[in-house]
Amino acid sequence: MKYIVVENAGYEGECDVAKFGTRWAAEQWLDRAYSPHEIATLHIDICMEEDGQRTYDPCGFFDAKGGAA
């Protein structure tokens, strides 16, 4: 399974930014790379990809940090 940091998540024009082997690694990188304001305004989230199928965790990254996704 891969964990992918995505800008514009859930919208037309989604863009993969970085891929990781664990959710923890993706979250750590995201915390270092983006401010909370950027996460909200750029609609950044982490998706899971397995066997070519993508899904978003029911609790998106920004939701887990206490904001609205």
Hey, what are 2's tokens? Answer: 């891969």
Q: What is the pLDDT of residue 60?
A: 54
Q: What is the pLDDT of residue 68?
A: 42
Q: What is the pLDDT of residue 58?
A: 56
Q: What is the pLDDT of residue 56?
A: 83
User: C-alpha angle with apex 25: 55 to 12, nearest 5 degrees?
Assistant: 35
The pTM for the full model equals: 0.79
Question: What does the pLDDT average to over 11-15?
Answer: 94
The 10s digit of each residue's pLDDT in 27-69 is 999 999 999 999 999 999 999 999 989 988 654 555 555 444 4
